[in-house]
A and B are shown apart, each in its own frame.
Chain A
Amino acid sequence: MADRKSVLVIGIGNPYRSDDGVGPLIADQVMKMGPDQVDLRSGIKDGFSLIHLWQEYDQVYLIDAVSSGKIPGKFYRFNALTGPLPRNFFTNYSTHSIDIPDTIALAGKLQMLPKKLIIYGVEGKDFTIGQGLSEEVRKALAAVTVCIIRDLRTNDFLITV
């Protein structure tokens, strides 16, 4: 698509639900410290809206908190175009919408995926009401930011989980 924009970073999560807000915080950090000409979006309403949004870009990095029962602060990097995401990592809080794995599956069936879609998931510890991150997730914030900036600079298309 000729008029596609280059790179989009999407932070998913609610900053008023403690560790759930790590996605938008990392996206903000990437914008401050990363290369220019990267677009940022947070506060996305639902999976359906994501499809239209990322379709406009060549490369998309999406960051979300996950809850898989593993060690808080552990983070994961998935190439969403090479295989399905684990179902038990991402939670859908609305039955009027779809979760991240289903959004990717739907976009794939509709041929509405970007050329590159990398998902970063950070294991949360505390999802209760309130602002601020747990110590474990706060430490992961810096590490994931560095990983994404490295991705952006190396433009590495050969990603493995």
Chain B
Amino acid sequence: MKNKSIKVDQLTRVEGEGGLHIKIKDNKVADVKFNIFEPPRFFEAFLRGRKFTEAPDVTARICGICPIAYQMSSSHAMEMACGVKIEGPLRALRRLIYCGEWIESHALHVYMLHAPDFLGYEDAVSMAADHPDLVKHGLKLKKIGNDLMILLGGREIHPINLRIGGFYKVPAKRELQKMIEPLKWALEASIETVKTVAALKFPDFEQDYEFVSVSHAEEYPINEGRIKSNKGINIPVTDFLNVFEEQHVSHSTSLHATVKERGAYHVGPMARYSLNFEKLTPLAQKAAIGSGLEPECKNPFKSIIVRAVELVFACEEALRLIDHYEIPDQPYIDVHPKAGIGHGATEAPRGLLYHRYEIDNNGVIKTARIIAPTSQNQKVIENDLTAFVPRNQNLSHDDLTWQCEQAIRNYDPCISCSCHFLKLHIERE
């Protein structure tokens, strides 16, 4: 066993192309490399020389799963650079469409991508034969998230109705009210989802993470707040690059982000939840506690429960926003360019998404910097595997390989965002 080699050529149910190589020597992990070989996508270079108004639509193309996140972080950054802050109903509508993206993305991951790991199926298609109601639930939840995105964004993939300053067109109150009944169903279904996934079997594995997320004084973080961690970071978004840095590593075309002079950090649902539990909506808190989840979750395999809790939150929050909706006086605020630097950090379904732009007086982009959640989580994924493998050497070759893949999917990694298939290779010497 101690010199055995384990190899999985293709890890599915993650977005993007990359690979993982784990080398075990004398029952100890000698090396873990999360290899990302997807070619750099050059979005930051595409943006240079473009008008500041183009950034939301250009960056949305980075990801088909979380385009709203890109539109929001870029819009916030540009608005900061131009000295504009979006408040009131337009801010609420942005939060509402972001809820749609969370519902869509989390439902996809919980039901279609992650649940098969726990229930022992290769994929959702094979799982559907034995658990048709589970899959139907997931599909319906996902559709409701998509429908919310279509209603506000014009379409669910790369929405076309968002712009710097707000929206091109805003919905009438009655249009939003059509979503009330589906969202009420989604809320109940999400509460049941928390119960269902909490009953799954989880490996006994906790890590001392540095959780990092956007944190807001009054609300569960989505699109605004300071950046905080459980290990002392409490900074405005403008200080992001003073505290965090990206490093090139030879085995990845995606830069590794770390806390300067400290190391890996963890972004995503578990970080948001653990740093902002008290800001969750009442039903989401109740669902979490009822499921046996502590206010801080350090077992990455339980991220499936946290995502389900965030589904409850997103449905409840969307219903609240619709209930309070008053049509804005105008669909967008005019934003006039001026030379400056703007930063935006919002919470994509997979975690904190940071954008920084420098523009000139004509609104032409001089520099752009985008740090996606998966690039921030790469190091922590490697650390998880480094810790997980030695503790589970008693597992059979196939079971260990399965759980290593599962450990990666805990993060719902979007390699395409950070830089497509993940190849997993465990080698024992």
Contact = CB atoms under 8 A, between A and B. Distances in A.
A51 B124 CA distance: 14
B108 A48 contact: yes
Nearest to B143: A52
A28 interface: no
A96 B125 contact: no
A96 to B, nearest CB: 5
Nearest to A53: B143
B125 A95 contact: no
Nearest to A43: B155
Interface stretch (B45-53, B131-139, B295-303, B339-347): B131-139
Size range of the interface on A?
10 to 19
A95 B421 contact: yes
A103 to B, nearest CB: 9
Given A43-B155, A96-B64, A106 B135 contact: yes
A94 B64 contact: yes
Contacts of B155: 43, 45
Contacts of A52: 139-140, 143
Contact of A96 (B65, B128, B136, B143): B65
Nearest to A105: B125
A45 B15 contact: no
B12 interface: yes
B13 A48 contact: no
Contacts, number: 56
A106 B414 CA distance: 24
Nearest to A104: B125
B14 interface: yes
Nearest to B147: A52
Given A94-B15, A95-B421, A96-B64, A109 B125 contact: yes
Contacts of B14: 95
Given A49-B143, A94-B64, A109 B15 contact: no
A12 to B, nearest CB: 13
A45 B12 contact: no
Nearest to B157: A45
B420 interface: yes
A110 B136 CA distance: 7
B124 A106 contact: yes
B420 A95 contact: yes
Contacts of A106: 124-125, 128, 135
A98 interface: yes
B217 interface: no
B12 A109 contact: no
Contacts of A49: 143, 146, 156
B132 to A, nearest CB: 5
A52 B108 CA distance: 14
A136 interface: no
Contacts of B156: 45, 49
A146 to B, nearest CB: 31
Contacts of B65: 96
Nearest to A109: B128
A106 B122 CA distance: 13
A106 B111 CA distance: 13
B13 A110 contact: no
Interface string A42-56: 010100110110000
B12 A51 contact: no
Contacts of B123: 98, 102
A143 B129 CA distance: 38
Given A98-B125, A106-B128, A48 B142 contact: yes
Contacts of A109: 125, 128-129, 132, 135
A95 B16 contact: yes
B198 interface: no
Interface of A: 43, 45, 48-49, 51-52, 94-96, 98, 102, 105-106, 109-112
Given A95-B13, A102-B123, A110-B139, 4 more contacts: A43-B157, A52-B143, A96-B15, A98-B123
Ranked nearest first, the 4 interchain pairs of A and B with the lowest CB-CB distance are A109-B128, A45-B157, A96-B15, A106-B125
